[in-house]
Structure 1
Amino acid sequence: MLHRIYTLLLILAGVILAPLLFYRYVTTPKYRGTLAQRLGQLHPQLLADAQQRPLIWLHAVSVGEAMAARDLTQHMAQCYPDHLLVVSTVTKTGQQVVQEKMPWVAHHLFLPLDLPLCINGVIRALKPKLCVVMETELWPNFFKALQQINCPIVVINGRLSPGSYRNYRRVRWAMTAFLAPITHMAMQSSMDAQRMREIGGDPNRVSALGNLKYDQALKPPTALEQQQLVQKVGALPPRQWLWMAASTHPGEEQLVLQVFTNLRQRHPELRLILAPRHPERAEPVAALIRAQGLSFTRLSQATPPWQSAILLVDGIGWLTRLYPHCHGVFMGGSLIPRGGQNMLEPSACGVPTLFGPHTFNFKHIAQQLEEAHAALRVADAQRLEQQLEWLLQNPLHRDQMGHAARQVVEANTGALARTLTCIQAIYPPAARAVP
């Protein structure tokens, strides 16, 4: 009954929002070309391959989750060599990560809408033997369809933000039923595990195994990736005179540009790398830069040497190559109430990280970095400017912060091995299921 009510509410919401959804599909490039798969249509080659080999399905909603799952998928491909490894995402940027960073993955697909008409046929056609879901993507009809074919479901790297926790607790009576099909829930921290139990997760199926993003952050760029960066921008300026605003959101770029303008008046050598969270926003951000009267170069169009004041990153997969060259990195989504973005990657590169007051999506990580004096929290743009000035003026303290940041990341690795052990216990590699 609960699943029927949920499905009816989804349909009702879809009907009400249909004009808006259609407009976004037509006008927004990242949604185009995905509708057929979201409605349950599968590529013929995927269907043919699924008839020949047992299939493992991993779901990662977007870029961050896909990047965190990269090493895990590689290990899974090695542990289950006779299985077909398929990864689904919701976004095109997530698809791009899968296609560019995971050559061992056999197929990518966009997750179908969580409606029985869309998802049930896909599950029956693919017959997955194991489903692994990154973080806390809870899709009741998806999980129910998997349960009906006795497919184990493992949620890994799970987390519950304070807002999600409060909302789910209000409907605990429903969450208990929706979580029941999940075989195991491996959460990032003991707090996340406790929250999962309190919203209805079976205590015997919940554990805290750590955060995969610590392990992934320590993976350095390959020699080829570094060479590609040099081919784009040439030799970068000295670390003293380069900072980055990474994964910024609307409302933050204007603040960042004003801070940069003020700092550049005192430090003409200073340059900025500006990377919007969503690369498709590059043109609106470019308009802001022009309005500020600053010179800039789009990374996609760059040729060495880079000489403009700002490098505008308009693609994915570049940040980990750029972080090591910066004297400081401001992580976006934190000056506005978006919950912040992953600050582990610059920390793993030994670079001091700055972030605003809103880091609820990365509360535990931010707290660890602050306690280790490896990051700086700023209340507003004015304080951001002051702290960046301090980092410029104090290279010794800057290096000490960077070293401390690297140590925090190194001290918290190990989730990858624990997660793989958990998955293997539920679906042993020796299993040779008939497709």
Structure 2
Amino acid sequence: MLHALYTLFVLILLLLTLPWWVIRSLRTGKYRGTMRQRLGFALPKPPVGAAPIWIHAVSVGEVMAAQGLLRALHARYPDSPLLLSTVTKTGQEIARSLPGISATFYLPLDLPWIVRRVLKHLQPRALIVMETELWPNLFQQCKLQQIPVILVNGRLSPRSFRHYRLFRWAMKPFLEPVHLFIMQSAADAERMLALGSDPQRVIHSGNLKYDQALQPPTPAQLQELAERLPPPSGIIWLAASTHPGEEESILDSLQSLRPQWPTLRLILVPRHPERAATVGALIRQTPFQYALFSQLSAPWNEEILLVDQVGWLTRLYRYAHIAFVGGSLIPHGGQNMLEPASQGIPTLFGPHTVNFRQAVQQLLEKQAALQLPDRTALTPTVQQLLADPELRQQLGTRAQAVVASNSGALQRTLQALQPLLDTPPL
């Protein structure tokens, strides 16, 4: 009954929002060319061999966090093809670039007749869902077809938990098909238990993003970067994964800082590269010139480099002297500050970091990063780092130590997955 009501709700929501989806697709192209797969058609042909392992990672952050797990699964189960689904186009672009993946596709709409078709076509031996993507009909259909569902690197922020708890009466049956919840922390595990999950199926193993952050770019990736963008001159400030409402503050800070620090240059990496045109328009309102990363054909000489392609951020940190991590000056929850921290880059971020609550707490406790109380602190904090190379060095060294001390989640996750993947439950 609950699944029927949920399905009805999804259908009504889709019908009510259909004009918005159509307009957004026509204006931005964000969803163009994806709907056939979202409706369960034009799926990749099931690879020959053992039943595949299906991994779902909603967007870029989850795909990046899954890389170590994907490599380990490929090594341990070489006969089982790995299928990787995403929701977003940017996530799909990253997924297609990963080695060892047999096929990628967009997650189907969570309607029972669609997910039945997808499961019949793919016939996976297991479904591994990164972080906290809950899809009641998909999970229920997996249960009916005896396909184990495992939630990996799961997290429940206090805010999400409060919302889910309002519907605790519905959450328990929706979560029942999940064989194992591998949560990031003890607090996340406790919140999942409070929603009605079986205590025998909830464990915590640490955050995979620490392990992934410790994986440096390969020599081939660094060579590709050097060919595309030779090491730039000057002091490089990298503003990573920025969102609307943050670029304005960053550009204002750059204008304030350049008179005193004329060699300061900015690498600006919007979280969503399709926003490059909008961000470029903001830059044109300043006295600065900028180059688009996708159009570089000579050394970068402008004050600003605007990165309009995915897959380069972790490599570009190598050139940075200071990193600001976005999604944090606005109430978005923050983006991954572990990546620059792991590379020894002095890192700062804003007050809104609920998505990385534990990481932020550990970095701040060890004086390994700087958190801004609000956007007005951006300029003086960057100025402080520019004026004090020793402070930059200390922050970077401490940050690397924090990331290294919290690694190990990957091995613990693999140990938890092994019984389910070696002998799938009936």
Q: Normalising to structure 1: TM-score of the pair? A: 0.95
Aligned 1:232-311 pairs, distance under 5 A = 232-238=228-234, 241-311=235-305
Aligned 1:197-216 pairs, distance under 5 A = 197-216=193-212
Map of 1:368 onto structure 2: 362
CA distance in 1, matches of 2:105, 2:24: 20
Map of 1:32 onto structure 2: 32
**Structure 1: segments with no counterpart, 5+ residues:** none
Residues 233-273 of structure 1: CA distance to partner in whole angstroms, max 9, x if unpaired? 222225xx111111000011011100011000211111011
Contact 1:234 1:304 in 2 (8 A): no
Residues 65-105 of structure 1: CA distance to partner in whole angstroms, max 9, x if unpaired? 011111211111121122121111111111111111x2211
Is 2:383 the partner of 1:389?
A: yes
Map of 1:403 onto structure 2: 397
CA distance in 2, matches of 1:386, 1:283: 29
CA distance in 2, matches of 1:310, 1:83: 45
Is 2:307 the partner of 1:313?
A: yes
What amino acid does structure 1 have at the position aligned with 2:78?
A: P
Deviation at 1:382, TM superposition (A): 2.5
What amino acid does structure 2 have at the position aligned with 1:11?
A: L
Is 2:2 the partner of 1:2?
A: yes
1:242 aligned counterpart, secondary structure:
strand
Is 2:14 the partner of 1:14?
A: yes
Deviation at 1:432, TM superposition (A): 9.7
1:77 aligned counterpart, secondary structure:
helix
CA distance in 2, matches of 1:42, 1:143: 22
Contact 2:50 2:79 in 1 (8 A): yes
Pick aligned residue for 2:61 from 64, 78, 83: 64
Q: Normalising to structure 2: TM-score of the pair? A: 0.97
- Of 394-403 and 16-25, more deviation after overlay is shown by 16-25
What amino acid does structure 2 have at the position aligned with 1:369?
A: L
Residues 383-429 of structure 1: CA distance to partner in whole angstroms, max 9, x if unpaired? 1111111111111111011000000000000011111111112221x
Number of matched residues? 425
CA distance in 2, matches of 1:163, 1:380: 21
What amino acid does structure 1 have at the position aligned with 2:66?
A: A
Residues 341-380 of structure 1: CA distance to partner in whole angstroms, max 9, x if unpaired? 0100000000111111111111111111111101111122
CA distance in 2, matches of 1:318, 1:398: 23
Pick aligned residue for 1:423 from 411, 414, 417: 417
1:46 aligned counterpart, secondary structure:
coil
CA distance in 1, matches of 2:133, 2:28: 23
What amino acid does structure 2 have at the position aligned with 1:319?
A: L
CA distance in 2, matches of 1:304, 1:422: 49
CA distance in 2, matches of 1:84, 1:98: 14
CA distance in 2, matches of 1:320, 1:141: 35
CA distance in 1, matches of 2:108, 2:424: 27
Contact 1:42 1:122 in 2 (8 A): no
**Runs (4+) of structure 1 moved beyond 3 Å?**
none
CA distance in 1, matches of 2:149, 2:231: 47
Map of 2:105 onto structure 1: 109
CA distance in 2, matches of 1:85, 1:269: 46
Deviation at 1:124, TM superposition (A): 2.0
Counting aligned pairs with the same residue, the percent is 49
Map of 2:351 onto structure 1: 357
CA distance in 2, matches of 1:432, 1:416: 20
Contact 2:236 2:264 in 1 (8 A): yes
1:94 aligned counterpart, secondary structure:
helix
CA distance in 1, matches of 2:288, 2:231: 21
CA distance in 1, matches of 2:313, 2:372: 22
Contact 2:267 2:304 in 1 (8 A): yes
Deviation at 1:317, TM superposition (A): 1.3
Contact 1:339 1:361 in 2 (8 A): yes
Map of 2:166 onto structure 1: 170
Map of 2:181 onto structure 1: 185
CA distance in 2, matches of 1:255, 1:261: 10
2:328 aligned counterpart, secondary structure:
coil
Residues 172-228 of structure 1: CA distance to partner in whole angstroms, max 9, x if unpaired? 010000000000000001111111111121111111100110011011111221122
1:138 aligned counterpart, secondary structure:
coil
Deviation at 1:25, TM superposition (A): 2.3
Contact 1:242 1:271 in 2 (8 A): yes
What amino acid does structure 1 have at the position aligned with 2:165?
A: R
CA distance in 1, matches of 2:190, 2:409: 18
CA distance in 1, matches of 2:321, 2:289: 21
CA distance in 1, matches of 2:25, 2:280: 24
Residues 107-164 of structure 1: CA distance to partner in whole angstroms, max 9, x if unpaired? 1111100001211111122221111100000000000010001111110000012221
Map of 2:155 onto structure 1: 159
**Structure 2: segments with no counterpart, 5+ residues:** none
CA distance in 2, matches of 1:228, 1:26: 34
What amino acid does structure 2 have at the position aligned with 1:129?
A: R
Is 2:86 the partner of 1:89?
A: yes
Contact 1:300 1:313 in 2 (8 A): yes
C-alpha RMSD of the superposition: 1.4
Map of 1:412 onto structure 2: 406
CA distance in 2, matches of 1:91, 1:131: 19
- Of 118-127 and 305-314, more deviation after overlay is shown by 118-127
Deviation at 1:53, TM superposition (A): 3.2
Contact 1:324 1:350 in 2 (8 A): no
What amino acid does structure 2 have at the position aligned with 1:274?
A: L
CA distance in 2, matches of 1:27, 1:382: 34
1:124 aligned counterpart, secondary structure:
helix
Map of 1:217 onto structure 2: 213
What amino acid does structure 2 have at the position aligned with 1:342?
A: N
2:373 aligned counterpart, secondary structure:
coil
